[in-house]
Structure 1
Amino acid sequence: MKALTWQGNMDVQVTDVPDPAIEQPTDAVVRVTSTAICGSDLHLYGVLGPFLKPGDVLGHEAMGVVEEVGSEVSNLAPGDRVVVPFNISCGHCWMCRRKLFAQCETTQVTSEGKGASLFGFSSLYGSVPGGQAEYLRVPQAQFGPVKIPDGTPDEQFLFLSDVLPTAWQAVQYADVPEGGSLAVLGLGPIGQMAVRIAKYLGVGRVIAIDSVPERLALAERYGAEPLDLGSVEDISAELISRVDGRGPDSTIDAVGMEAHGGAPGSTFISLAQKATGLLPDAVGQKVTDKLAGDRLDALLGAIKGVRRGGTVSVSGVYGGEVDPMPMMEMFDRGVQLRMGQAHVRRWTDDILPIVSDPADPLGTLDLTTHTLPLSDAVHGYEMFRAKDDGCIKVVLKP
């Protein structure tokens, strides 16, 4: 089959790889009909190369039609249409019983000290082949896949794989008080959906922050107050000034480790991230694991811009272990911090009725700006990374 594979730092290619097959009785094989490129894929593209090997199949946002199921999968049958959550969870372990599906103990990558296995996301998370391919083997299929109705556009449900649950969790973790205010830093797909979900759930004031005009305009269309990052010198001071001299009740960092900005050390860390990706794997893995740093502009803006006693919700992915945090300021201001991989199946039952509504209240059908054949995936990566041509979300069709 054809699949998008990692070949080296900043080098992905569509190649021939073996077709997946049932390996465990809890597996299913899905014929992929749509798969998306995520911001997290860009971390693999340029930063986390030491944990990948040439030929690894990328992608963790996929949906399609069930082709085959293992003997212990009784909830699915060939022909069922499903969305596949990006994290692989069993549904019955200690963590799953507490709805902490991103920490599933059945699929935890204990050798790397990481949580549940993820599709297409390096040896750190199990080296499970991803969904930017014609077919996908789905472990723990007795629990993970979400069945969806026939006769509806893929894009109406595709984002149940990651974008919607991640944004939903970000808003839930932000814990905005009734009638309160929220600032969302970063208006990629997660930030866009966080804005829409916040407004849908009744948040009184949503400030949407980015530097890309098309992204600001799209967030404004869904009721947010746009704030151009390039128009202010200090985003946290601007947020405090705009919201009663205190700052918003809650903030969401929807950016992560590769934020752009002018925080101290950002340029050095950016160069270090690129250099680490070019090191031999054995060296690069040790450097990344023990010494990695993140570009913290968005996180620091979220922490310093929220009001005293407010809540910071982090959905952007971070990989560093030596990041300097403003602990004195966080402690003095009583800031609450919540974060983590989305527990996808914890939220899908809440979201499914909303995206099933023909009125499309969250605008799932207009988030996709570019639809390409899988054969053009390399161009999709380049365009998404550069934010060219108003690119916000790329969907690939195998």
Structure 2
Amino acid sequence: MRRLTVLGPGRAEWREAPAPRTREASDVLVRPIASAVCDLDRHLVREAPLEPPYALGHEAVGEVVEVGDAVGRLKPGDRVVIPCHVSCGECEECARSMPGACGAVPPFSAYGTPTGRSWGGLFDELVRVPWGERSLVPVPPGVDAVRAAACSDNLVDAYRAVSPTLSGDRDASVLIVGGTPTFGLLTVLVCKALGGTAVHYVDRDAHSVERATALGAAATLIDSYAEPIPGRHDLTVDASAHPRGLRRALISTRPGGTCVSRSVFLSDPPLPYLEIYSSGVTFVTGPPHITPFAPEVLRLIDSETLDPTPLISGPHHYDEAPEVLLDPPAGKPVFVGDRR
């Protein structure tokens, strides 16, 4: 089968790889039919910070091809969201709705990176999903695979970042510190879908500020993350992937408020500890936990309460993936193709 493979900084191409087979009775084989590019994927291709070669991709909707003997709920032909993480669905962490920290696999076990073993990537023509019945999330019949592809990671993670606050108070003041190509904007989109009335967005990129404004946020262009931002906010979301962006989010949180960081740092960023200590900020971070929360996001898409289409680039054809990833357009590229 073909596998989209990172070979080094700025080098990604299709390579041949052995097609996976079911190994355990709980395995499910899935054929990705719509694969999305996460903001992290851009970094993994551009910088190749992990030891290459490695398979790419951890956001996709797929079609079930084969199920193990112990699988009863899923059948060939079903469309499913493939969570970015690999999880058993039964361990203590999975039982606490934290499958991204599953205790049955090595830490950071996910598709599309070599961390926590190699599990392949969600651009692969065929993917083995261990414990598939407890991990995969069925896609409602009326939901287009292209719109649902980001539910493997970014879109559900954006929902998790803001829904605990907005479900209790739609008027809560939310500040999103942007900087990544799409995650901050997806968070704006989710805030508005959940009825948020006070959604603020800051970014150093003028185009992102324009898009955030079009999505309904009060958006401000800043020169640097050191620039003072008026007011304190009930909830701040760090979507900058920059240590100073994280600092800006933390010190912009009101006393007793919550700061959620979804940035991925490969080294420890400095924290303004005394400032957040003095104001009692709750700091939340951690890997995505997709399986328990994707059904609600899919329901929002199905009801047309949430529509990620304004932030989708494409769809492009899978054959174009290496070229598109080397010079990605604005928005979240999604790839499709005839894989039947």
**TM over 0.5, yes or no?**
yes
Q: Identify the match of residue 377 of structure 1 among 321, 324, 328.
A: 321
- Structure 1 alignment gaps of length 5 or more: 260-295
The residue that corresponds to 1:92 in the other structure is 90
8 Å Cα contact 2:166/2:172 also seen in 1: no
Give the 3 Å change call, closer, same or farther, for CA 79–104 of structure 1 in structure 2. Answer: same
CA contact (8 A) 1:167 1:197 kept: yes
Q: State the Cα distance separating 1:229 from its structure 2 match.
A: 2.1
Structure 2 CA distance for aligned equivalents of residues 16 and 233 of structure 1 = 43
Q: Distance in 1 between matches of 2:331 and 2:118?
A: 27
Note the alpha carbon deviations across 1:236-258, whole angstroms, 9 max, x for none.
x22xx2x3xxx1222101132xx
Match of 2:251 among 304, 324, 333: 304
Contact persistence 1:174–1:252 (CA under 8 A)? no
Deviating more after overlay: 209-218 vs 325-334: 209-218
Query: 1:377 corresponds to which letter in structure 2?
Result: A
Query: Residue 180 in 1 paired to residue 172 in 2?
Result: yes
Summarize deviations over 1:158-206 as a string: whole Å, max 9, x none: 2221122110111136678622211111163321221122222233311
2:96 counterpart of 1:59: no
Instruction: Give SS of 2:131's match.
Output: coil
Distance in 2 (alpha carbons) for counterparts of 1:70 and 1:177: 42
Aligned to 1:275: none
2:76 to 78, 83, 89: 78
The alpha-carbon deviation at position 67 of structure 1 amounts to 0.8
User: 1:47 Cα shift?
Assistant: 4.7
Shift of the 17–34 alpha-carbon distance from structure 1 to 2, 3 Å rule, reads same
CA contact under 8 A between 1:75 and 1:142: conserved in structure 2? yes
Give TM-score, length-normalised by structure 2: 0.91
Contact 1:175 1:311 (8 Å CA) reproduced? no
Give yes or no for the alignment of 1:120 onto 2:112: yes
Q: Secondary structure at the match of 2:75?
A: coil
* Aligned equivalents of 1:103, 1:6: Cα separation in 2: 25
Distance in 1, Cα, partners of 2:250 & 2:73: 43
Partner of 1:33: 33
User: In 2 relative to 1, CA 88–394 (structure 1 residues): closer, same or farther, beyond 3 Å?
Assistant: same
Q: State how far apart, in whole Å, the 2-side matches of 1:129 and 1:174 are.
A: 35
Q: Are the counterparts in 1 of residues 87 and 94 from structure 2 also a CA contact under 8 Å?
A: yes
Kept in 2, the 8 Å contact 1:28–1:139? The answer is: yes
3-state SS, counterpart of residue 256 of structure 2: coil
Q: Which residue of 2 aligns with 1:4?
A: 4
Structure 1 counterpart of 2:177, one-letter code: L
After TM superposition, list the pairs within 5 Å mapping 1:194-213 onto structure 2.
194-213=187-206
Higher share of residues assigned strand: 2
Describe the SS at the equivalent of 1:354: helix
Q: Matched residues in 1 for 2:225 and 2:245: separation?
A: 13
Aligned residue identity for 2:160: Q
Quote the Cα distance in structure 1 between the aligned partners of 2:2 and 2:151. 24
Report deviation, 1:333.
2.3
Q: Give SS of 1:125's match.
A: coil
Alignment-derived partner of residue 333 in structure 1:
279
User: Residue 346 of structure 1: SS of its match in structure 2?
Assistant: coil
Q: Secondary structure at the match of 2:65?
A: strand
2:254 counterpart of 1:324: no
The letter of the residue matching 2:280 is G
For 1:122-173, what per-residue CA distance to the aligned partner results, in whole angstroms no more than 9, with x for missing partners?
Answer: 1x22211011122222122021111123464212322221122110111136
Residue of structure 2 in register with 1:155 after alignment: 146
Instruction: Work out the CA distance in 2 between the residues paired with 1:198 and 1:66.
Output: 32
Correspondence 1:364 to 2:311: no
SS of the residue aligned with 1:142?
Answer: helix
Aligned match for 1:223, one of 209, 216, 221: 216
* Residues 90, 106 of structure 1: 8 Å contact kept: yes
Deviation at 1:339, TM superposition (A): 0.7
Paired residues of 1:193 and 1:362 also in contact (CA < 8 A): no
Cα distance, 1:100 vs structure 2:
1.3
Q: What secondary structure, in the 3-state scheme, does the structure 1 residue paired with 2:293 have?
A: helix
Residue 128 of structure 1 aligns to a residue whose secondary structure is coil
Cα distance change of structure 1 residues 151 and 206 upon mapping to structure 2, 3 Å threshold: closer
Following the alignment from structure 2 to structure 1, what is the Cα–Cα distance between the partners of residues 138 and 196?
30
The answer to whether the 8 A contact 2:8-2:47 is kept is no
Question: Which secondary structure state, in structure 2, belongs to the residue aligned with residue 203 of structure 1?
Answer: coil
Helix, strand or coil at the partner of 1:227: strand
Name the CA distance, whole Å, in 2 between partners of 1:392 and 1:299: 22
Count of residues in correspondence between the two structures:
335
- Unaligned runs of at least 5 residues, structure 2: none
Q: CA deviation at 1:15?
A: 1.8
CA RMSD of aligned residues (A): 2.1
Match of 1:285 in 2: none
**CA–CA separation in structure 2 for the residues paired with 1:312 and 1:234:** 17
Q: Does 1:106 align with 2:104?
A: yes
1 CA distance for matches of 2:296 and 2:285?
Answer: 20
What code does the residue aligned with 2:332 have?
A: K
- Give CA deviations for 1:22-81 in whole Å, capped at 9, x if unaligned: 1222211112111011112233224553x4332x21110011211111112211111111
